[in-house]
Amino acid sequence: MLGAGTRQVTTSPELILPQLQNQQISWRDAYRLRWRRRRALWTSFRSRHQLRAVRDLTGAIKPDDILSVVVLRNEITRLPFFLEHYRQLGVTQFLVVDNGSDDGSAEYLAEQPDVSVWNTAHSYRASRFGLDWLTWLQVRYAHGHWCLMVDVDELLVYSDDQTRNLRTLTEWLEGQGRIGFGALMLDLYPKGSLDQCAYTSGQDPREVLQWFDPSPYRVERQSPMGNLWVQGGARARIFHGDDLRRSPTLNKIPLVKWNRRYSYVNSTHSLLPRQLNYLYEGPDGQAPSGILLHTKFLPEIVSKSEIEKQRQQHFHTPVDFDDYYDRISAAPDMWHPGSVRLESCAQLEALKLMRSPDW
């Protein structure tokens, strides 16, 4: 399933911290990464002035609460199921930055009993694609907490999640000496044109987006940061077939026992200090991991793509992705004969896309 150039990491759970310390890089690279982390924390600290509290419930956070930190814009359709999914998993409070929604998202969130909301009209792209805002909230409120950082179109699943919630998972991880949990972002899609399926707010997106690509996935570990680079799946096949290296990065470490010295670098794809990146080994790896079901391709994606093409907020060089947005706006059929219908976490584990904790 994994392509050429794959390097497999075989760190055992009980030895993960000592082995991470033995990952050697030059003193110059170590120095540069240390200052990169410090700059990220400094810009995050400065960004606090860009956030206006709409509803602040953080005074009710308890020492053992599991938090979720989110940035969003115009997600009123997805929010009801998103909140339901993570409440059932055991998230106690959501810390949400609303980046200028005009579809009722901010008002809906402000009515929720477990959601703190901040508003900002500042540039998503200029804030390191929202990381400055989120990192500040993590520094301010999440230190010492297990913290889940996900997008509203991402649903975390893992083996036995129906009977073992995030509290059980995080207690097990801590017992194994692990301070994070990685996941593969798996694109889900319908069979037929993207604009032909029907979705109702509050509905489980998996009822509409029932298919995924089981392979191939290309895995590399990059230097000097030590982060994985996983690519492949449906978006690589459809939108980047002639230039795989421009296809989306699919590895994430969304669940971390947070420390105010940590900083995400590129969404949740990589972190600093660099040792944290070795917590996830990718598809077919030995480390326990889950799946982030990526529900991007609900029918609203067709109309949203034209809007995002004009806003140019989601990529470092937005003009290079105009063709990507144009192809989504054409509402393609992403299904092909190699597509597999999503059934269960056991199925995803059998395909070696995730690995169950050794409960």
Q: What is the pLDDT of residue 86?
A: 98
The DSSP annotation for 36-90 comes to: HHHHHHHHHHHGGGG-EEEE--GGG--TT--EEEEEESS-TTTHHHHHHHHHHHT
3-state helix, strand, coil in the chain (%, to 5): 35, 20, 45
Q: What is the pLDDT of residue 14?
A: 29
Name which of 245, 287, 251, 288 is nearest 268 in CA terms.
Answer: 251
What is the distance between the alpha carbons of residues 34 and 297, in angstroms, rounded to a whole number?
38
Q: What is the pLDDT of residue 3?
A: 38
The residues facing 289 across adjacent strands are 182, 355
Strand order from edge to edge, sheet including 67-72: 52-55, 115-119, 93-98, 67-72, 146-149, 251-257, 180-187, 289-294, 154-157
pLDDT per residue, tens digit, the chain (359 aa), is: 333 334 333 323 222 333 444 468 999 999 999 999 999 999 999 999 999 999 999 999 999 999 999 999 999 999 999 999 999 999 999 999 999 999 999 999 999 999 999 999 999 999 999 999 999 999 999 999 999 999 999 999 999 999 999 999 999 999 999 999 999 999 999 999 998 889 999 999 999 999 999 999 999 999 999 999 999 999 999 988 767 777 899 999 999 999 999 999 999 999 999 999 999 999 999 999 999 999 999 988 876 665 555 554 445 555 556 677 688 888 899 999 999 999 999 999 999 999 999 99
- Pairing mode, strands 146-149 and 67-72: parallel
CA terminus-to-terminus distance, the chain: 26
Q: What is the pLDDT of residue 322?
A: 67
Q: What is the pLDDT of residue 114?
A: 98
Tell whether pTM > 0.85. Answer: yes
- Pairing mode, strands 228-232 and 93-98: unpaired
What is the distance between the alpha carbons of residues 188 and 76, in angstroms, rounded to a whole number?
20
What is the distance between the alpha carbons of residues 73 and 133, in angstroms, rounded to a whole number?
14
Q: Is 317 exposed, middle or buried (0-12, 13-18, 19+ CB in 10 A)?
A: exposed
Q: What is the 3-state secondary structure (H, E, C) of 161-216?
A: CCCCCHHHHHHHHHHCCCCEEEEEEEECECCCECCCCCCCCCCCHHHCCCEECCCC
